[in-house]
Structure 1
Amino acid sequence: MADAALRLTSLAQELLGAPLPVRVRAWDGSESGPPGAPVLVVKHRRALRRLLWKPGELGLARAWVAGELDIEGDLYEALDLMAGLIWERGDGTGERVHPVRDPKLRAAARGLLRLAGPWPPPPPPPEEVRGRAGTRHSKRRDKAAISHHYDVGNDFYALVLGPSMVYSCAYWEDGGTLEDAQRDKLDLVCRKLALKEGDRLLDVGCGWGSMAIHAAREYGARVTGVTLSVEQAAFARKRIAEEGLTDRIEIRVQDYRDVRDGPYDAISSIGMAEHVGAVRYREYADDLYALLRPGGRLLNHQIARRPEKDESAYHVDEFIDAYVFPDGELAPLGRTLATLEEAGFEARDVEALREHYALTLRRWVANLEADWPGAVRMTSPGRARVWRLYMAASALSFEHNKIGVNQILAVRPEEDGASRLPLRARAWTADAGA
């Protein structure tokens, strides 16, 4: 098969209605496409079979995770250029068009089928989530989903996240380091919650204990942290012991729905609510409201998607759902605010940190790429490739305003309706000298 790259780019142009914006190098060593552009390396014809079997994002993701596709050049530039390269394309009427159902494209699809080689398609890479048991967002299924993502290995997370071990959006200042930005984010949360000596703080989805440690060490809070990840809990307890804070912090492997020892003075939920799901979000809001004392504060730090014109047509991202966050769901900011208010909370402040998350993700990708052999050794080649793709693509989504991230400060009002908050908004930033 001579010059497979030229045949592939020609067929892709017929199917997509436009030239490929990247250069292609095929499995036979041939190249085709614009000089100087990032190179999409198609290492094996199996990649085409995956695309034919699962047109769109999931087929591309499977080929990437399996190592059958690669990028030479700037990964971010390549992802930007290929963002529209999906097989299901709009026809201008709002309908979706599949190439093999469009008579004008059938010939090109048959040509691609010949180029792809013999069937059947290969099985999905082992990192893909399959055979999910139980009701969506039941406690059992949520625990399995959290384990898939977070029990990858503490050493791997330390490589990616750095010494801070904080797996959420940092709070950046020009010229700062990742560690500085993560410390500043934790401190911002503590100030918004107005933590003081002796306050009881519940940290929902406590991760590796960074928020709990900061709140106890810097503000004298008594902290209960809950996580569904056994590996996270073990790591957090070790850190807490090394800090000499075991008398102030308790880490539990526990579902937030099973916490019954309120009331708490404050609750932090940082990067956890994305796992709750739309069908459970009111329950989440009700549970946190019940766990707070009157006058207590909630800081909800959560990724948000943009609202759809037709919300019933919203579909979960196939790659993210299959390889990264099983059963994870993003909600528009307005829906989150409305649900918190329906539960009885008064929303007092919303701060958008979208650009901050893009910066954070780019730093995590740089950490991963700086010790790629170590990342592969700690997990697997496929898992490391999943993380590189999802973090780089997510950085672009934040930069292009496809998704955002927000901190919502809410209060459970006192019985007389008082919030006991400062008259001037955002006193916490003024206190920090911002």
Structure 2
Amino acid sequence: MAPSKLRLRQSEHPASSDAHHLARDKIQSLLQLAGISLDGQQPWDLQVHDARLYERVLSQGTLGLGEAYMDGWWDCQCLDQFVFRALRAGLRERVGVSAYEAWLALRGVVANLQSKARASIVGEHHYDLGNQLYRCMLDSHMTYTCGYWRTAEDLEHAQQDKLDLVCRKLDLQAGQRVLDIGCGWGSFAEFAARRYGAEVVGITISQEQAELAQRRCADLPVEIRLADYRTLDESFDHVVSLGMFEHVGWKNYRTYMQVVRRCLSDHGLFLLHTIGSNQSGVHGDPWMDKYIFPNGDLPSIAQIGKAIEPDWVMEDWHNFGADYDRTLMAWHANFEQHWEQLAVDYDLRFQRMWRYYLLSCAGAFRARKNQLWQIVLSKHGVHGGYRSLR
């Protein structure tokens, strides 16, 4: 589905009130801490088109900053560099918590935003935006998770190397049965079946993903289901989850791990590939929650640790979060390269929204505020010890 057609709001005359000048001065002093200027000459400087920006950011925080960009109130030649510098300097913490973010925190404590009844929301909002968008942005196999750039020189090889790394970490053998929780468009299922001879069951909550994955894997021992993970109760040699745990929610981490445990054979391995946060929280970024991943929630080491205790043995914990910066920049380059083709179905405001999503995330990973973890778990511990692979 394509977003509704909305026009960018035009610049208006700057307000002349004392409040406006105070807001501008405060924003300017904050930005200087990160080496960023207003209307400066560096590629990471903000070019302000609407003076209402300053008060909007101070009152609404990251939500106001992102929405103002979508509305055309400001631009930046290198948005990723701006976000990187702002986060490294701790500017978000200096601005403080907005009323909207406080409401998100309260909502995250009181409600289970990722309950079974609400599981399909993110699928409909994000993953069902249209397969053509993701075909244009991703690699040829439509792998929508972080690539592995240890030796790769381009996105295609980085994604293939990541999928192969997952299979090698599982010591995947021909004929073994694998559960892929959050299978996306079937990239891992296809790779594991074609390259390693595995039998794969993939589940997703996205109708668009399920239909395409079923077509792609029609000639392989792969079954794609439109299902919630909580419905699973059957045995598999291994379980993988690549880029889905971010949608589980902190209230459901324990349930998620219990489901995986009941589906995994006693001698099997579970590989969890997830974005991670440096600190525990109960909600995602306000702008990201509203426009990109509704009800998304990044887990921390402590939250994952609590969820797996005492039922799992942690065999390996691999962080290659810096690789997500390079992956996102490659996705952004593909998106912009194919924009003329995509503009038939998506408007200019969507372009600015999607650009802000990709580049702000790249900046966050570059600043090491977000991580990418691959965690290998076993039920009883690998006899003789697990051999870590990189």
TM-score normalised by structure 1 residue count:
0.75
> Cα–Cα, structure 1 residues 88 and 55, in superposed 2: closer, same or farther, change >3 Å?
farther
Aligned residue-pair number: 363
Match of 1:106 in 2: none
Deviations 1:225-250 (A, max 9, x none): 00000000111112113xx21xx001
Measure the CA separation in 1 of the matches of 2:231 and 2:302.
Answer: 27
Q: How does 1:245-394 map to 2 (within 5 A)?
A: 245=220, 248-260=221-233, 262-307=234-279, 316-342=284-310, 344-394=311-361
Could you tell me the percent identity over the aligned residues?
Answer: 35
Measure the CA separation in 2 of the matches of 1:318 and 1:58.
Answer: 5
Q: Report the Cα offset of residue 335 of structure 1.
A: 2.4
Measure the CA separation in 1 of the matches of 2:148 and 2:41.
Answer: 39
Query: Cα RMSD between the aligned structures?
Result: 3.0
Match of 1:148 in 2: 125
Q: Which amino acid aligns with 2:25?
A: E
Structure 2: gaps spanning 5 or more residues: 1-10, 99-110
Q: Report the Cα offset of residue 11 of structure 1.
A: 4.3
Q: How does 1:16-415 map to 2 (within 5 A)?
A: 16=27, 18=29, 24=38, 33-36=39-42, 38=44, 40-44=46-50, 50-51=56-57, 54-71=59-76, 73-83=77-87, 89=94, 96=96, 136-174=113-151, 176-241=153-218, 244-245=219-220, 248-260=221-233, 262-307=234-279, 316-342=284-310, 344-413=311-380
Q: Report the Cα offset of residue 168 of structure 1.
A: 0.6
Residues 43 and 78 in structure 2, CA contact (< 8 A), matched pair in contact too = no
Q: Report the Cα offset of residue 146 of structure 1.
A: 2.1
Structure 1: gaps spanning 5 or more residues: 25-32, 91-95, 99-133, 430-434
Q: Report the Cα offset of residue 10 of structure 1.
A: 5.2
The structure having more radius of gyration, on CA atoms, is 1
Measure the CA separation in 1 of the matches of 2:331 and 2:277.
Answer: 21
Q: Which amino acid aligns with 1:324?
A: I
Residues 266 and 296 in structure 1, CA contact (< 8 A), matched pair in contact too = yes
SS in 1 for 2:309: helix
TM-score normalised by structure 2 residue count:
0.83
Residues 84 and 364 in structure 2, CA contact (< 8 A), matched pair in contact too = no
Measure the CA separation in 2 of the matches of 1:76 and 1:228.
Answer: 30
Moved more, 146-155 or 387-396: 387-396
Match of 1:127 in 2: none
SS in 1 for 2:340: helix
Q: Which amino acid aligns with 2:64?
A: G
Residues 337 and 347 in structure 1, CA contact (< 8 A), matched pair in contact too = no
Q: Which amino acid aligns with 1:180?
A: H
- RCO higher in 1 or 2 (8 Å CA, sep ≥ 6)? 2
Residues 55 and 86 in structure 1, CA contact (< 8 A), matched pair in contact too = no
Residues 141 and 187 in structure 2, CA contact (< 8 A), matched pair in contact too = yes
Residues 16 and 87 in structure 1, CA contact (< 8 A), matched pair in contact too = no
Measure the CA separation in 2 of the matches of 1:5 and 1:37.
Answer: 27
> Cα–Cα, structure 1 residues 362 and 352, in superposed 2: closer, same or farther, change >3 Å?
same
Residues 203 and 224 in structure 2, CA contact (< 8 A), matched pair in contact too = yes
> Cα–Cα, structure 1 residues 355 and 88, in superposed 2: closer, same or farther, change >3 Å?
closer
Q: Report the Cα offset of residue 217 of structure 1.
A: 0.6
> Cα–Cα, structure 1 residues 156 and 14, in superposed 2: closer, same or farther, change >3 Å?
same
Q: Report the Cα offset of residue 389 of structure 1.
A: 1.1
> Cα–Cα, structure 1 residues 186 and 46, in superposed 2: closer, same or farther, change >3 Å?
same
Residues 153 and 378 in structure 1, CA contact (< 8 A), matched pair in contact too = no
SS in 2 for 1:303: strand
Match of 1:425 in 2: 387
Q: Report the Cα offset of residue 23 of structure 1.
A: 5.6
Residues 13 and 19 in structure 1, CA contact (< 8 A), matched pair in contact too = no
Deviations 1:158-213 (A, max 9, x none): 11112130011111134521111101111111111121111110000000000000
Q: Report the Cα offset of residue 300 of structure 1.
A: 0.3
